[in-house]
Structure 1
Amino acid sequence: MAPRANWKGFLKVGELVCPVALYTAASTSERISLHMLNRATKHRLRREYVDSQTGKPVERDEQVKGYEIGADEYLMLEPEEVASAVPQSDKTLAISDFIACSDIDSVYFDKPYYLAPSDKHATEAFVLLREGMRANKVAALAQTVLFRRVRSVLIRAYDAGLIATTLNFDYEVRSAKEAFDEVPEIRIKGEMLDLAKHIIGTKKGKFNPSEYDDRYETALSELVKAKMEGRPVEARKERPAAKVVDLMQALRESAGAEKKKASSTRAKAKKAPAATKRKAG
């Protein structure tokens, strides 16, 4: 069964227009969903909006959005006023620029979607654009209205189609300076840097998503299964606390061991010819 499209419209670059559809590429819908219950009745609970001052429930038609302008002071916005701020959509994903795939920092990446032709007659135009991007090793920047907001989208060739990643706006991405402000400048060089390169070299590999497990989801699934089958639930064994290691001290000790090993190897290499000579005589 074909997946349900999240959005349908037109991919446009210059005079080339192609009907396309967006499909969710990453979803949390497969995760186990838990609900809140009344312990006594086992009935499911429902959320209810209550007035923060009176404590009384507020009916849906009496609920309205508001913007806080001061302590307990709000500017009321009627539904039609909020709706007027939603941009008009022409269902067009208009490409403005082609850029190098590495030009955008991944911190701006928001959510990925698969982008595919929505009409079999559009396949040729779609493939033409995909292969042109792949051959030139570029990505496309586009804008459209998605889910009531104007969104910037990065489009890249991906497998037999394209992948469209919505981008965070500049104001949404926090400056790294606050996080790294207290990290001092330390220059690492010489043997310490060589050792770091060696350690990294021994751990080189490739990303295989199937090798990484969601341990919480797996444990939760086992818990639900055990309770459904009436089996006793085993208490989780606490992991021993990780030993705190002074990284620099460990590197120094490792560097010393490596240096000592290298010196020993060189010394043995020097002695070897003399021993061979004596044996021959």
Structure 2
Amino acid sequence: MSTPRAYWTGHIRLSLVSFPVRLFAATSPARTIQLHQYDKNTGQRIRYQKVSEKDEDPVESDDIVKGYEYEKGRYVAIEDEEIDKLKAESNHVIELTQFTDAADIDPIYYDRPYYIAPDEDGVQDAYVTIREALRKAKKVALGRIVIANKERIAAIKPCGDGLMLETLRYAQEVRDAKKFFDEVKDDAEIDDEQLELAQLLIEKKSKPFDPKAFHDTYQQGLMEIIKAKMAGKEPQAEEAPDDDGGNVIDIMDALRKSLEQSGGGSDSKAGKSGSRRSTKASGTKASSSKSSSSAKSAKSSAGSSKSASKSASKSSSSSGGSKSTAKAGAKKSGGRSKSSKAA
């Protein structure tokens, strides 16, 4: 396997310590399917040419120069050599001027990562010393680097057995987030149980990051379409899921269902937590309904007992039976009344 070409070569310098290094791109563009434009009538590719603005005639590369337009149609020409001399030292030297905690750098400022490799065998000692010093101090080294005629902030930190450099964006390159979050309230009240459900859902779906678990489904689908057409078949596109983004939903209900789908189960903490709010909200109404129902039942039973007592007494008198029958009926109805009160 051939060694990749170095993206940048130069020195890292810390005070009087300096050693040569090479930078290699830590990432590579994802391999994507290239779609070209072509003339459907002739099948010929469509090409783009550099043409002059006025007559649209093609311009040779040797006749194209860089310049700054200070007035409409008037330029100050800038030569590549002049740009190279502008930052001659930082073109080939990364001067470490500051050290900071990694947590102090907002991730939005990180741009591109590069692996730093020592350029000569004799500099291993200095290279490893800087690496271990940064690791023990838990710091990131900051400096400047010029890559592709553009000066960037360089952040250097340990990476496995070596060092990694990440270019950082300048403050003016990062948009102020506040204007995008104006409608988000700082003091918005959140239901405790609702928050607990969300936390349980996050906990349920939490696991170590594995980049291999994620796939470019767009590229895979595009290749399936291409293969189907090459085989003379009609591509079978999957139906897109329903978009309910515009519908207002009950967040509590949605969180509960989400937990169930992820294997939370109704007997889990989430199910119990989710039911509390419903129980509290309907508790007073349920209690009132139960009390009213009990009262009606007791009243009905009492009325039935009174009627039974009269009937028993009347029956005893008309048949000449003993008073014991009436007493038994009254005792029996009294038992019912007592039972209904207990209910």
TM > 0.5: yes
Cα distance in 2, alignment partners of residues 195 and 209 from structure 1: 27
Structure 1 residues 69 and 163, CA, compared in 2 at 3 Å: closer, same or farther? same
Cα distance in 2, alignment partners of residues 263 and 56 from structure 1: 75
Cα distance in 1, alignment partners of residues 191 and 73 from structure 2: 57
Tell me, yes or no, if the aligned pair for 2:97 and 2:142 is still in contact at 8 Å: yes
Structural mapping, 1:258-277, within 5 Å = 258-260=273-275
Cα distance in 1, alignment partners of residues 145 and 68 from structure 2: 27
**SS of match in other structure, 1:78:** strand
Tell me, yes or no, if the aligned pair for 2:24 and 2:114 is still in contact at 8 Å: yes
More strand, by proportion: 1
Cα deviation, residue 220, structure 1: 3.2
Cα distance in 2, alignment partners of residues 77 and 216 from structure 1: 45
Cα distance in 1, alignment partners of residues 217 and 148 from structure 2: 32
Tell me, yes or no, if the aligned pair for 1:26 and 1:112 is still in contact at 8 Å: yes
Cα deviation, residue 200, structure 1: 1.9
Tell me, yes or no, if the aligned pair for 1:89 and 1:144 is still in contact at 8 Å: no
Partner of 2:260: none
Partner of 2:211: 209
238-247 or 171-180, which moves further after superposition? 238-247
**SS of match in other structure, 2:37:** coil
Cα distance in 2, alignment partners of residues 246 and 29 from structure 1: 38
AA in 2 matched with 1:48: Q
Q: Does 2:135 align with 1:134?
A: yes
Structure 1 residues 65 and 191, CA, compared in 2 at 3 Å: closer, same or farther? same
Tell me, yes or no, if the aligned pair for 1:68 and 1:74 is still in contact at 8 Å: yes
Flag the structure with larger Rg.
Answer: 2
Cα distance in 2, alignment partners of residues 74 and 235 from structure 1: 53
Q: What's the TM-score once normalised by structure 1's chain length?
A: 0.79
Q: Deviation digits for residues 29-84 of structure 1, max 9, x if unmatched?
A: 633333333333333332113344544444445545565667xx24423242x753
Q: Does 2:34 align with 1:33?
A: yes
Cα distance in 1, alignment partners of residues 78 and 47 from structure 2: 24
More helix, by proportion: 2
Structure 1 residues 225 and 22, CA, compared in 2 at 3 Å: closer, same or farther? farther
Cα distance in 2, alignment partners of residues 170 and 83 from structure 1: 28
Identity %: 32
Cα distance in 1, alignment partners of residues 276 and 223 from structure 2: 49
Aligned residues: 259
Out of 82, 86, 98, which is 1:84 matched to? Answer: 82
AA in 1 matched with 2:153: S
Q: What's the TM-score once normalised by structure 2's chain length?
A: 0.66
Tell me, yes or no, if the aligned pair for 1:66 and 1:74 is still in contact at 8 Å: no
**SS of match in other structure, 1:113:** strand
AA in 1 matched with 2:77: E
Tell me, yes or no, if the aligned pair for 1:8 and 1:21 is still in contact at 8 Å: yes
The one of the two structures with greater contact order (alpha-carbon pairs below 8 A, sep at least 6) is: 1
Cα deviation, residue 85, structure 1: 4.1
Segments of 5+ residues of structure 1 without an aligned counterpart are 265-281
Segments of 5+ residues of structure 2 without an aligned counterpart are 257-269, 280-343
AA in 1 matched with 2:75: M
How big is the alpha-carbon RMSD for the aligned residues of Structure 1 and Structure 2? Answer: 2.9
124-133 or 234-243, which moves further after superposition? 234-243
Structure 1 residues 236 and 56, CA, compared in 2 at 3 Å: closer, same or farther? same
Cα deviation, residue 256, structure 1: 8.4
Tell me, yes or no, if the aligned pair for 1:66 and 1:75 is still in contact at 8 Å: no
Tell me, yes or no, if the aligned pair for 1:64 and 1:76 is still in contact at 8 Å: no
Cα distance in 2, alignment partners of residues 125 and 48 from structure 1: 50
Partner of 1:271: none
